[in-house]
Amino acid sequence: MPSPIVRPLETADVAALCDLIDALADYENLPRPDSDARGRLAHDAFAQPPWFHVLVAVLGEEVVGYAVYYFTYSTFLARPNLYLEDIFVSREHRGEGAGLALFRACATEATRQRCARMEWVVLNWNAPSIDFYQHLGARQAQEWLPFRLEGDALHSVAG
């Protein structure tokens, strides 16, 4: 079995990326991005400066997984952080090393950018992912609670 190749997203990969995002939405029981969102995603993936970065895992000629990340900043550490927004491998290619290769590529980029840490969230019911991250030495942050402002509440606060 060949090892996966991890590389940056190319314009020819956008359809495959959107299909994988749909598969992640299905896995997480979330609505799939609509056509407008897919168009914005394709545009924003190549914006200058980029809103986010995408790595893809390729086996043979097939894009089988992806990772989306962006940088935040820690004022207390005075260093950037890599925030891993999504990491996903198609169901039929799990166990072939693509997820680990993507995760390692993100960690490598975090160290290359001198990040203080790499952060992400995982759904509390996603035991396979939790086990994967813990096996790599990640720990669940207990001291910080995620909050979200969206939709009408976001617009209300914005005035």
All residues at 6 or more sequence positions from 105 whose CB lies less than 8 Å from its CB, including other chains: 6, 55, 67
Residue among 70, 73, 83, 133 flagged as catalytic: 133
Known catalytic residue: 70?
A: no
In single-letter form, the type of residue at position 72 comes to T
All residues at 6 or more sequence positions from 87 whose CB lies less than 8 Å from its CB, including other chains: 65, 66, 67, 68, 99, 102, 103, 106, 120
Listed residue (83, 62, 63, 61) closest to 72, CA to CA: 83
Angle between helices 14-27 and 35-44 (to 10 degrees): 130
DSSP H or E run through 71: strand 62-74
Annotated active-site positions, please? 133
